A and B are shown apart, each in its own frame.
Chain A
Amino acid sequence: MKGLNIVVCVKVVPKNSEIRIDPETNGVDRRGVDSIINPPDKNAVEAAVRLKELYGGKVTLLSMAPPGLDDFFHQMMAMGADEFVLLSDRAFALADSYPTVHTLAAGIRKIGKVDLVLAGVESADGGTGNVPPGLGEALEFTQATYAEEIDYNSEEKRFIIHRMNGSGHEVISIPSPSVVSIELGVNSPRFPDFRRKLDLDENYKMTVWSNKDLELPEDKRGLSGSFTTVEEFVEAKKRERKHERIEGTPEEIADKLADLILENMN
């Protein structure tokens, strides 16, 4: 293929502020909770579409998810992606990061001849950030995580990555094919093209692969392939707070605040 064959791993997550613990089951109560596109995934799609605009090629979005989320998937496609591949099967459900990595890797291998795998840096729902580097291992690709910028050198067939490593800022180059995770907020994701979205809603039929297509053994998919188990959920402890309201004119408030701050300084 001419240009870059890019796969972006994407996910739809529950809006986190609405999650509560169900006191009866001690499980996470997702009822009535809205979903959103995992925020850094939009940055990853934006990065992919920009690379395609510069160097040509194709952007395929890949998600492991239950059915029924096409609206979100079409929104992401309408940012400029070409295809969508959904990995969907009960056999994939309740996966922790290890089987998720192997399921996505199987999807990427089946797509074939991939130059670059992009993903958001982590998912907003219990995000681990384990998946992008895990994919690097499973696919035997080089990896770069926490990327803030990505460019491509078509002569050397290498990607140039800017990333923060926690102590400094580094610029590295890694060969094609690679896995790169894109940090949240590093670019401005474009708005979905409204007409493209409508067209996709009406006419697009995405590729759906089940485990019949991927043929993953039990130890590489879903619950059976997971190593970690959730022992229990606990509500994050909120410390008891005084909840004293400070009132008055702005002058009076500022005066009381100043006293309070100075009292609490030592």
Chain B
Amino acid sequence: MGKDKKAKGIWVFIEQFEHAALDISWELLGKSRELADKAGEKLIALVMGDNVEHIAQEAVHRGADEVFLVEDELLEHYKCENYTYAAYKVIKKNKPNQLIMGATPNGRDIAGRLAVKLKTGLTADVVSLDTTKDGIMLGQVPGFGGSVLAVIKCEVARPQMATVRPGIFEAIPIDKKRKGKIHKIDADLDKKYETTKLIKLQKVEGVDISKAKRLVAGGRGLGGDVSALKELAELLDADIGVTRPLCDDGLFPRDHQVGSTGVTVKPEITINFGISGAAHYTAGINKSNTIISINNDPNAIIFEYSDYEVIGDVNKIMPLLIEKLKAKLMKEVKQ
């Protein structure tokens, strides 16, 4: 869109699936409320879908000053051509200064396309977001697997766009007393231009380990046997996180993957079993309060990220640990 002095407002794209907003949408709105106040901008939510007025209302209750609500049958499911067309129209007309979206598969799908259409800069996969008082967005992006962070800005074009990783910011709780204006926009979509056909859609009831209080995490050092990991999780009422190769091998669904292309966790305690500590992985556990790692290689990088280190064989230690924990937990119950 080129630099436009008239560009105003911090916009957040509210992603929804089957009429329910994703958590990331409220996380972004929560953070952006803070940014909007700092830059003296209005906070505006962009809600798209079919029958999603309740989401627009919730956006107001969660901090938005105004909502642009675009409803159309053709927006029922995410299809990039329909969503891009509708979003482009609203954005072109109303000229946001900043536009923030979730770094989810669909969020990144539409963001990448929109940025080229709007001729503007897009900072992808932000892990930390700030703004100057005069509205210049500053996004921190992990590079090279997470060992380096680049602070990126886009001074010359508007809107300044960013996608943000889930699980980093906190949502504002619902406050039903909050008021805000909801603008209903006609998307003017035509079925004729729809190119994507939806053949099958299956909701996956996933787990959300980003909010885990305790995490037991396993890597390739488990040798493919994840039964002890599961038993420990149950014993400690902990969530299970794994490194990417375990998901690639089909041992766990993707939503258990920790790391730069997985989930960022921030539990009280993370226990790593047989994990080497690649930057891709450690990027996801850095916010854990206490980290314990067990690895049979004394030079494993994971130890650089650990409070407590055990050099040892997980096959030996895990069964013993389970035994000890059971005994100690029993004792606690009896007391």
Contacts and interface: CB of A to CB of B under 8 A. Distances in A.
Interface of A: 14, 16-17, 19-21, 28, 96-98, 101, 124-134, 136-138, 142-146, 158, 160, 163-175, 184-185, 226-239, 241-246, 250-251, 253-255, 257-262, 264-265
Given A28-B143, A97-B112, A228-B123, 6 more contacts: A17-B279, A126-B142, A136-B113, A232-B151, A236-B283, A241-B305
Interface string B109-147: 111111111011111110000000000001011111111
Interface string B39-83: 000000000000000000000000000000000000001111100
B286 to A, nearest CB: 6
Interface in B214-261: 214, 236, 244, 247-248, 254, 261
B154 A229 contact: yes
B148 A129 contact: no
B122 A130 contact: yes
A165 B108 CA distance: 10
Nearest to B245: A185
A143 B143 contact: no
B144 A250 contact: no
B105 A146 contact: yes
Q: Please indicate which of the listed interface residues B271, B306, B324 has the most CB atoms of chain A within 10 Å of its own CB.
A: B324
Interface stretch (B4-12, B172-180, B182-190, B315-323): B315-323
Contact of A134 (B115, B151, B317): B115
A64 B244 CA distance: 28
B147 A16 contact: yes
A185 B244 contact: yes
Q: Please indicate which of the listed interface residues A137, A174, A236, A244 has the most CB atoms of chain B within 10 Å of its own CB.
A: A236
Interface of B: 17-18, 22, 77-81, 84, 104-117, 119-125, 138, 140-157, 195-204, 206, 214, 236, 244, 247-248, 254, 261, 268-269, 271, 278-280, 283, 286-287, 289-292, 294, 303-313, 316-317, 320-321, 323-325, 328-329, 332
Contacts of A257: 292, 294, 308, 310, 317, 321, 324
- Leading 8 A-B pairs by shortest Cβ distance: A227-B121, A133-B112, A16-B145, A254-B320, A128-B124, A126-B143, A167-B17, A185-B248
Given A137-B84, A185-B248, A228-B123, A126 B22 contact: no
A260 B202 contact: no
Contacts of A250: 312-313, 316-317, 320
Contact of B115 (A28, A98, A229, A241): A98
Given A170-B202, A228-B123, A244-B308, A262 B115 contact: no
Contacts of A129: 108, 112, 124-125
Contact of B116 (A134, A165, A234, A237): A134
A142 B79 CA distance: 10
A16 B144 contact: yes
A187 to B, nearest CB: 10
21 contacts: A101-B116, A124-B144, A126-B141, A126-B150, A129-B108, A133-B80, A133-B108, A134-B113, A136-B112, A137-B117, A142-B195, A160-B199, A166-B17, A172-B199, A228-B152, A230-B152, A238-B305, A243-B307, A257-B324, A258-B325, A265-B268
B1 to A, nearest CB: 10
A172 B152 contact: no
A23 to B, nearest CB: 13
A185 B317 CA distance: 31
Q: Please indicate which of the listed interface residues A226, A233, A243, A254 has the most CB atoms of chain B within 10 Å of its own CB.
A: A254
B80 to A, nearest CB: 6
Q: Please indicate which of the listed interface residues A16, A242, A251 has the most CB atoms of chain B within 10 Å of its own CB.
A: A16
A125 B196 CA distance: 31
B204 to A, nearest CB: 5
B151 A169 contact: no
Given A253-B310, A254-B320, A236 B147 contact: yes
Contacts of B329: 262
Contacts of B199: 160, 170-173
A98 B119 contact: yes
B200 A243 contact: no
B93 to A, nearest CB: 19
A242 B308 contact: yes
Contacts of A19: 143-145, 147-148
A142 B151 contact: no
Nearest to A21: B148
Nearest to A231: B151
A171 B308 contact: no
B201 A168 contact: yes
Contacts of A233: 143, 148-151
A237 B199 CA distance: 45
A259 B328 contact: yes
B87 to A, nearest CB: 12
Given A168-B201, A229-B154, A145 B109 contact: yes
Contact of B121 (A20, A96, A175): A96
A163 B109 CA distance: 12
Contacts of A172: 79, 196-199
Nearest to A29: B148
B269 A136 contact: no
A234 B146 CA distance: 11
Contacts of A134: 112-113, 115-116
Contacts of B196: 142, 144, 172-174
